[in-house]
């Protein structure tokens, strides 16, 4: 009887479970996604830079332009001919621009109702861009000649040599006359056409180039955004990020604000170029705005050329020389700021601005400018290699591929690396490859008016002819042709054999 009751209970439970499953299956109705009230989940909210790329390399690890796309889909093309920044610096600019440009947030929201077919609309006419203004600027050759004369005049005046001062003054006057005579030829060039020699600097006369102030506004705006971000850093972070103090950052921001207003005013005049007489327009638009927070030597170069061109238009020689010396002091200040603000610089950026750059422990000196530095790099080509020259607290470090070369002091003159007065024509790695050695350490020196590398290498020998032994051998090699000029072993080497 008990077994019968147990069986009956099991049958009842089984029936109830089957009925429940049937009810659940028949009551689970899927709501079509197109029904009113349906929702859609958007992606996770993201802010900042979505896509980043650099192009137009202007040095080892430095680029003229960068492209960024923010998460909201907006795009920006940064940089220009006068820009030359590392990839890291362009990324900082991109992060600042895209900081508040975000994708859709992660929330549930109703799907949009069907929208009616779009009606044809009138496409607005594109806004005409301001035409560049063709102006005359001096060539690289003339600029170098002027720069050399101004620097020589400064040194001679300090020495009190009146006779030499008069001789250089006459040379400046003659050079001014040369430019004046050739300016008419430059002004006859077709408007808006830049002579190829304006870039190469091979022409001995002023050449016509296009000036477009409207295109410069974005560069000024990017600088303001970057330095505002720097101003928000703590004193410790500011010291780590830049070579500027907080007071200097505040001064730079004030100068940037004043400078961009001048550029905007010039842009407005440029837009109405066709309604103004040519000479009036050139006076308004072509007047160079002194660069602030310079990013490249090219930026200083462009300003220097434009200012020399304007000063040499003066008839009074004495007045011209006074203005040229004042201008040279301005250029010195800009060069100092360039060295302070950049972690890496190309030697070519200084070629028209200074006669010589000297690098020694803890210091970079560019003619009259001296900047304390232990975290800067000057990139220069030696032989077939690109190397970096870095001042450290104890010495100069020259990085060449996998080799680190030390020196007490080196100089760069006309993009040529020198130690003392001797030119370095081969990189240390090229010499090591030629000699088929792997040096443990390398030092660059001047010996007997020649640049040489002292390379220490490990040499396997046998002590007393049978005990394996390693000694350190010093090889002195000519930095011009890679030939070995001397080999030195420790005093006990006579006890060893190969």
* Closest residue by Cα to residue 433 from 442, 445, 421: 442
Q: What are phi and psi of 395, to 5 degrees?
A: -165, -170
Inter-CA distances, 396 with 277, 361, 388, 389, Å: 56, 6, 10, 7
Is the pLDDT at 204 greater than 80? The verdict is: no
Segment (H or E) for 183: helix 162-187
Q: Kind and range of the H or E element at 257?
A: helix 246-271
pLDDT tens readout for residues 230-249: 888 888 888 777 778 889 89
DSSP symbol at 438: -
Closest CA relative to residue 431, chosen from 385, 479, 399, 388:
479
With a pLDDT cut of 70, the percent of the chain lying above it is 72
More confident residue, 306 or 377: 377
Do 57 and 63 form a contact (C-beta atoms < 8 A)? Answer: yes
Domain ranges of the chain: 49-107, 133-341, 356-497
213 pLDDT above the threshold of 90: no
Q: How many residues does the chain have?
A: 498
What tens digit of pLDDT does each residue of 62-105 get?
677 888 888 888 888 887 765 667 777 788 778 878 888 887 65
Query: Which are the contacts of 117, defined by CB distance < 8 A and separation ≥ 6?
Result: none
Please tell me whether residue 298 adopts helix, strand or coil conformation: helix
Which stretches does DSSP call E strand in 143-241?
Answer: 207-211
Is residue 410 within 8 Å of residue 458, measured between CB atoms? no
Residue 111 has pLDDT above 80, yes or no: no
pLDDT above 90: residue 164: no
Task: Looking at mean pLDDT, say which of 17-21, 133-137, 239-243, 448-452 comes out highest.
Answer: 448-452
Q: Please state, in angstroms and as integers, the Cα–Cα distance from residue 156 to each residue in 149, 151, 164, 331, following that order.
A: 10, 9, 7, 19
79: left (phi over 0), alpha (psi -120 to 50) or beta: left
Which pLDDT score, from 0 to 100, does residue 193 have?
Answer: 42
Residue recorded with tokens 């909201």: 72
What confidence category does residue 454 fall into, taking pLDDT thresholds of 50, 70 and 90? Answer: very high
Q: What is each CA distance from 54 to 51, 58, 127, in whole angstroms?
A: 11, 11, 28
Q: List C-alpha distances in Å: 264 to 79, 213, 214, 261, 290.
A: 18, 8, 7, 5, 14
| Of residues 463 and 250, more confidently modeled | 250
Q: Which residues pair with 359 in a beta bridge?
A: 364, 410
Nearest to 193 by CA among 205, 206, 210: 210
Question: Chain centroid to CA 418: how far?
Answer: 24
Chain mean pLDDT for the chain:
77
**C-alpha span between 420 and 408 (Å, rounded):** 10
Quote the CA–CA distance of 498 and 465 in Å, as a whole number.
8
Residue-wise pLDDT tens digits, 378-404: 999 998 888 999 999 999 999 987 789
Encode pLDDT of 12-70 as tens digits.
445 544 444 343 343 333 333 333 333 444 456 778 888 888 877 665 456 778 888 88
Helices (H) then strands (E): counts for the chain: 12, 24
Q: How would residue 140 be classed by pLDDT, with cut points 50, 70 and 90? A: confident
Closest CA to 133 of 186, 211, 215, 188: 211
- In this prediction, residue 357 carries a pLDDT of 95
CA 98 to chain centre: 21
- What lies within 8 Å, CB to CB, of 422 at 6+ separation is 446, 449, 450, 451, 479
Residue 54 near residue 72, CB atoms below 8 Å: no
Residue bearing the bigger pLDDT, 133 or 154: 154
Higher pLDDT, 187 or 194: 187
Residue bearing the bigger pLDDT, 282 or 218: 218
Contacts of 345 (CB under 8 A, 6+ apart): 59, 297, 338, 339, 376, 377, 378, 379
Give this prediction's pTM.
0.68
**How many C-beta atoms surround the C-beta of residue 76 within 10 A?**
17
């Amino acid at each position: 009887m008990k077994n019968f009751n147990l069986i009956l209970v099991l049958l009842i439970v089984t029936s109830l479970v089957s009925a429940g499953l049937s009810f659940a299956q028949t009551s689970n109705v899927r709501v079509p996604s197109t029904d009113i009230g349906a929702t859609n989940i958007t992606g996770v909210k993201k802010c900042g830079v979505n896509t980043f790329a650099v192009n137009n390399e202007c040095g080892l690890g430095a680029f003229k332009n960068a492209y960024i796309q923010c998460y909201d889909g907006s795009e920006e093309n940064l940089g220009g001919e006068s820009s030359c920044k590392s990839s890291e610096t362009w990324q900082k600019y991109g992060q600042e621009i895209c900081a508040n440009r975000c994708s859709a947030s992660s929330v549930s929201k109703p799907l949009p109702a069907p929208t009616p077919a779009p009606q044809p609309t009138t496409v607005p006419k594109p806004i005409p861009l301001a035409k560049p203004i063709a102006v005359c600027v001096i060539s690289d050759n003339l600029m170098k000649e002027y720069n050399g004369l101004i620097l020589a005049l400064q040194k001679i005046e300090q020495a009190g040599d009146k006779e030499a001062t008069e001789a250089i003054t006459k040379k400046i006057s003659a050079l001014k006359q040369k430019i004046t005579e050739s300016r008419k030829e430059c002004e006859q060039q077709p408007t808006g056409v830049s002579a190829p020699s304006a870039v190469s600097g091979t022409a001995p006369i002023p050449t016509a180039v296009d000036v477009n102030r409207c295109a410069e506004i974005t560069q000024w705006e990017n600088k303001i955004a970057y330095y505002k971000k720097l101003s928000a850093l703590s004193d410790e972070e500011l010291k780590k990020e830049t070579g500027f103090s907080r007071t200097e950052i505040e001064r730079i921001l004030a100068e940037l604000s004043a400078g961009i207003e001048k550029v905007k005013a010039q842009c407005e005049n440029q837009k109405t170029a066709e309604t103004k007489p040519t000479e009036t327009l050139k006076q308004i638009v072509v007047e160079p705005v002194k660069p602030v927070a310079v990013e490249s030597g090219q930026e200083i170069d462009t300003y220097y050329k434009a200012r020399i061109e304007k000063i040499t238009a003066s008839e009074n020689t004495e007045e011209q020389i006074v203005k040229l010396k004042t201008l040279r002091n301005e250029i010195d200040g800009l060069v100092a700021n360039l060295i302070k603000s950049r972690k890496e610089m190309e030697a070519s950026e200084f070629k028209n601005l200074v006669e010589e750059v000297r690098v020694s422990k803890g210091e970079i000196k560019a003619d009259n400018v001296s900047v304390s530095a232990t975290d800067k790099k000057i990139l220069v080509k030696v032989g077939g290699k690109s190397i970096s020259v870095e001042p450290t607290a104890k010495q100069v470090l020259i990085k060449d591929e996998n080799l680190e070369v030390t020196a007490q002091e080196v100089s760069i003159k006309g993009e040529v690396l020198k130690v003392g007065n001797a030119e370095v024509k081969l990189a240390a790695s090229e010499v090591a490859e030629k000699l088929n050695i792997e040096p443990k350490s390398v030092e660059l020196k001047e010996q007997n008016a020649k640049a040489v590398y002292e390379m220490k290498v490990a040499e396997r020998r046998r002590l007393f002819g049978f005990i394996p032994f390693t000694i350190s051998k010093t090889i002195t090699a000519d930095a011009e042709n890679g030939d070995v000029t001397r080999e030195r072993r420790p005093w006990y080497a006579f006890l060893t054999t190969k």
